[in-house]
Amino acid sequence: MKKFTVSEVEEILNSMDGIQPAEAPLYMYSKIRNRLATKSTDTGNSFQVKPLLVIGMLLGCMIINIWILSQQKQKINNTSNSSIVDFSSEYGLNDSYAN
């Protein structure tokens, strides 16, 4: 920790001689009170609309995701069945040879 000399301490203390307290503009307190009063009475429907909009958007995204996943699952099933049929026919593993 730095140790200050006597002249540095006096310089720091003298720098605060011209400090004056800050003053707020006229009627600032009443303006703030009026703004708070008008905002508290003017709630409107903004809070009720936003959650419904968000819930609707989430449901829409979920429906789209479920649809896309079901389409991909059908494509995978179709390709896997056709690959099994191709494999069995290529190596002669048909049901007709089992008898």
61-94: pLDDT as tens digits: 999 999 999 888 877 766 666 777 777 777 777 6
d(C-alpha 7, C-alpha 16), whole Å = 15
How far, in Å, CA of 50 to CA of 56, rounded?
A: 10
Token pair 């003053």 is found at 23
Cα distances (Å, whole numbers) of residue 70 to 6, 57, 58, 62, 74: 81, 20, 18, 12, 6
Q: Residue 88 in contact with residue 94, Cβ under 8 Å? A: yes
**Start-end of H helices in the chain:** 6-15, 28-41, 46-90
Please state the pTM of the whole predicted model.
0.35
pLDDT digits (tens, 9 = 90+) for 18-28: 888 888 888 88
